[in-house]
Structure 1
Amino acid sequence: MAIFKGAGVAIVTPFYDNYEVNYKKLEELINMQIAAGTDAIIICGTTGESATLTMQEHKEVIRHCVRYVNGRVPVIAGTGSNCTETAIELSKDAEKDGADALLIVTPYYNKSTQKGLIEHYSMIAESVKLPIIMYNVPSRTGCNIQPATAVEIAKRNPNVVAIKDAVGDLSVTATMVYLSGQEGNCMDIYSGNDDQIVPIMSVGGLGVISVLSNVMPKETHEMAMACIEGNYEKARELQLKMLPLIHALFCEVNPIPVKTAMNLMGMNVGPLRRPMSPMEEANVERLKKAMKDLGLIQ
């Protein structure tokens, strides 16, 4: 059974001006997302600046989110690491704290062979009972799960049930859908790119883990639901309408633009932790224009 269908938000981690985690604001964002129809909360992912959270903060942010959501929607905890033992520790704690599923990014920087990826994911899967979503974003990690490897991992580990596909190549996505189908549909697929929600869902994806949803949750949910309902005319219209904003949200490294956009909308999610730096002024203007065109700001 799928962890969720539709649009899950890769939610930001809000900070006070002194860079401490703003849990009150996180609660406000969670409530806004659920009220808008968001189908799952993904906490401590890339968009949540997990790389700059301390181990203690990482665990506490997941714990707080799980408790505050209180079963209203699934909470998927980002517990990946380039160290297998660290990923296992984070995953065990997230399971103990009540997360519904885990999002495990490929090992970054030190990378891995395909054999190493099988071992990495298998060791994590064996340490917990929670369902796991693999996260493949080679442009960011320098590490790529080949389609056959992803399916092999899912075949070997029954609780590895899905992949967040941020490769950006629809041929790769289609190949994964095909190979998974050859093995009894052993692996669900979620889009990891907001500009490919409709294309990926058209070849069998179940939804999206979305950055866009931080600023347009209702519309992102509606786009994914239109695909699920087979109304691709509506889905395509929404995808193309939001494309300039999506491109602006990724004109600098995520989550720089999305946090900037949220602050422009008055959400007051605070600063970015270094090494993320404030957005370049020319790109801020580009972002503002895309937001104005959609009525998000005046």
Structure 2
Amino acid sequence: MNIYSGIWPVAPTPFHPNGAVDYEGMERVLDCIIDQGSDGICILANFSEQFLITDEERRLLTERSLAHVARRVPTIVTISHYATQIAVGRANHAKAHGAEMVMMMPPYHGALMRGTAEQTYDQFARVGEVGLPIMVQDAPLSGVDLPVPLLVRMAREIEMVKLFKIECPQAASKIRALIAEGGDAIEGPFDGEEAITLMADLDGGATGAMTSAMIPDQIKLVLAHHASGDRDAAQAAYARVLPSINFENRQCGFRSAKAVMVEGGVIGSEFCRHPISPLHPDTRAQLLELVRPLQPIALNWGR
């Protein structure tokens, strides 16, 4: 089995109702993700609300999360920042506390400050000097174009660039082209965006998926059947979970995993910091209506 394979959920960051980070709740989230049979964990990603967390909170979350996971599964720490020096500093901090990998988007700030191809290459090369495998996050949020030739060049010339989370439009086609042009240099092509295009991405050559922590135990069945060559079983497993994935992707975003984890007793609050609004009660009810029949571990973990 490729070590860069399977399902690697993004851990949500729980907050107390007063807005303070719930560090004990974070440890319960991590335990739940491991109990869901996940092959790895990602912390401090966009679905962790990393853009709503202070630098000091980030430091503590990194240190406490890595200490608590204690290498039970590999952990990826997201380190994205426009400033290369800060991204490198975050990578060094993650490595010092036991992270197995880091994930980063290309350099960007707001809608207009976007790294060029060379600036992106240089930033990843600098982070690569830290010595941790890097997952390139190709997400629309950055607004930075990452064409296949650039990604292949990075994979071939920067030793630590090994993984690629592709969640741009028509991701399957890009994954297929990336593998065709990059060959063995593309060690871990991953699906993203809550697995809303998972079957197409697996057919395109993805070896893993980085989803939310809402129902990874149920989505994992799709990857397992696909990897074994049982396409009919993979299609059936995917059809079973797709309505809830679609609802999460289109209606809830990162608030979905928190809602399910509160309902399942994993954490005590689904608070999101302003300016993020809480889920509308009707939206929350519709989400749970779709998730309950799946009987995911997160919905019952703390009960």
TM over 0.5: yes
1:41·1:73 contact (CA, 8 Å) conserved in 2? yes
CA distance in 2 between counterparts of 1:253 and 1:275 reads 15
SS of 1:223's partner is helix
SS of 2:163's partner is strand
Per the alignment, residue 95 of structure 1 pairs with 95
1:1-298 alignment, distance < 5 Å? 3-108=3-108, 109=110, 110-126=113-129, 128-138=130-140, 140-169=141-170, 170-181=172-183, 184-193=184-193, 194-211=195-212, 214-252=213-251, 254-267=253-266, 268-295=268-295
SS of 1:162's partner is strand
CA distance in 2 between counterparts of 1:245 and 1:119 reads 39
TM-score between both structures, scaled by the size of structure 2: 0.89
Deviation at 1:293, TM superposition (A): 4.3
2:156·2:185 contact (CA, 8 Å) conserved in 1? no
Displacement over 4 Å in runs of 4+: 295-298
CA distance in 2 between counterparts of 1:14 and 1:3 reads 29
SS of 1:38's partner is coil
SS of 1:9's partner is coil
CA distance in 2 between counterparts of 1:86 and 1:185 reads 27
Runs of 5+ in structure 2 lacking a partner?
none
SS of 1:133's partner is strand
CA distance in 2 between counterparts of 1:185 and 1:159 reads 10
User: Which of 198-207 and 66-75 deviates more?
Assistant: 198-207
Q: Percent identity?
A: 21
2:192·2:210 contact (CA, 8 Å) conserved in 1? yes
Structure 2 counterpart of 1:111, one-letter code: R
User: Which of 160-169 and 271-280 deviates more?
Assistant: 271-280
Deviation at 1:290, TM superposition (A): 1.6
SS of 2:162's partner is strand
TM-score between both structures, scaled by the size of structure 1: 0.90
Structure 2 counterpart of 1:115, one-letter code: E
CA distance in 2 between counterparts of 1:106 and 1:66 reads 24
CA distance in 2 between counterparts of 1:36 and 1:259 reads 15
Structure 2 counterpart of 1:201, one-letter code: L
User: Which of 92-101 and 263-272 deviates more?
Assistant: 263-272
Structure 2 counterpart of 1:205, one-letter code: A
Runs of 5+ in structure 1 lacking a partner?
none
Deviation at 1:279, TM superposition (A): 1.9
1:248·1:257 contact (CA, 8 Å) conserved in 2? no
What RMSD, in angstroms, separates the aligned Cα atoms of the two structures? Answer: 2.1
Q: Deviations over 1:84-129 (max 9, x none)?
A: 2211111111011110000112223222222221122112212x00
